[in-house]
């Protein structure tokens, strides 16, 4: 059976061609490793077979492989502002340029890996995927978001100093993902990150989110202006209630 460790070795060889001393590169290396670990845990909770668990860890490791070139070329991780789709770049690097051959992954996984990576950062998963492709697209979106809460909490300062804009507020309370192009107020990006909760797909993913405490960690680092405390408390309550009710629905 193919080995996660061999893929990890090749991944580290690639990312070490970038400046790992740069905190922004180091952050994404850490995110990739954490996401791979979470992917293994979620795969086991979903009672997948051993080979599928290995594949899930590899998917977690490689899902953001386009991020490193993105930052090197644009000095930004904002796909919208940088006009750089890191997921598209990742699949082009792996599959159009054939670097996937360096990772010793069975070819039967290529289509699944390509579709899952391409779809992991989109507002919606594209149509006409096979059942298996759709499962892994949902899977990587879940574990990616679970670790993003940790990443954001440990890598950045998050002041909450301005009320969210109307469109972002309306979208948030409709339990929908927020489009980057709709960000107007200073706090809108924070709300966009938190709204990732609405796109989690599996009951086991919610369980993993709660077990990691990553969302609560994110909440804890937000420095809220006194005048906006009620607004942010409402945001937290909405998310906690959504998680509780969604988990019941998924049982």
Q: For the segment 76-134, what is each residue's pLDDT rounded down to a tens digit? A: 999 999 999 999 999 999 999 999 999 999 999 999 999 999 999 999 999 999 999 99
Average of per-residue pLDDT across 135-155: 98
Per-domain residue ranges for the chain? 1-144, 157-251
Contacts of 204-211 with C-beta under 8 Å, sequence gap 24+, read 204/42, 204/45, 204/46, 205/42, 205/142, 205/143, 205/146, 206/243, 206/246, 206/247, 206/250, 207/45, 207/247, 208/38, 208/41, 208/42, 208/45, 208/143, 208/146, 209/146, 209/149, 209/243, 210/243
Confirm if 178 and 189 have CB atoms less than 8 A apart: no
pLDDT band at 2 (very low <50, low <70, confident <90, very high): confident
pTM of model > 0.95 = yes
The CATH number assigned to the domain with range 1-144 reads 1.10.3210
Cα Rg of the chain, angstroms: 18
- Taking the alpha carbons of 224, 225, 228, 229 in that order, is the dihedral positive or negative? positive
Locate 88 and state its tokens.
Answer: 């598209």
Average of per-residue pLDDT across 16-40: 97
Average of per-residue pLDDT across 31-42: 98
């Amino acid at each position: 059976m193919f080995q996660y460790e061999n893929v990890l070795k090749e991944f580290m060889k690639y990312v070490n061609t970038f400046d790992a001393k740069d905190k922004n590169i180091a952050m994404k290396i850490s995110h990739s490793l954490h996401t791979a670990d979470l992917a293994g845990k979620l795969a086991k909770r979903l009672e997948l077979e051993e080979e599928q668990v290995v594949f899930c860890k590899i998917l977690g490791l490689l899902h953001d492989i386009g991020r490193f070139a993105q930052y090197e070329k644009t000095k930004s991780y904002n796909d919208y502002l940088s006009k750089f789709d890191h997921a598209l770049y990742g699949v082009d690097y792996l599959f159009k340029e054939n670097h996937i051959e360096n990772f010793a992954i069975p070819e039967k996984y290529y289509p699944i890996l390509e579709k899952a990576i391409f779809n992991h950062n989109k507002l919606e998963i594209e149509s006409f995927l096979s059942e298996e492709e759709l499962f892994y697209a949902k899977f990587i979106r879940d574990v990616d978001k679970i670790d993003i809460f940790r990443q954001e909490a440990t890598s950045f300062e998050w002041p909450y100093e301005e009320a969210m804009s109307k469109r972002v507020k309306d979208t948030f309370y409709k339990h929908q993902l927020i489009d980057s192009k709709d960000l107007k107020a200073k706090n809108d990006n924070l709300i966009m990150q938190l709204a990732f909760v609405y796109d989690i797909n599996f009951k086991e993913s919610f369980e993993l989110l709660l077990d990691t405490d990553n969302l609560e960690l994110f909440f804890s680092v937000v420095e809220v202006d006194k005048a906006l405390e009620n607004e942010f408390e409402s945001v937290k309550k909405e998310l906690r209630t959504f998680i509780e009710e969604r988990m019941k629905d998924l049982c």
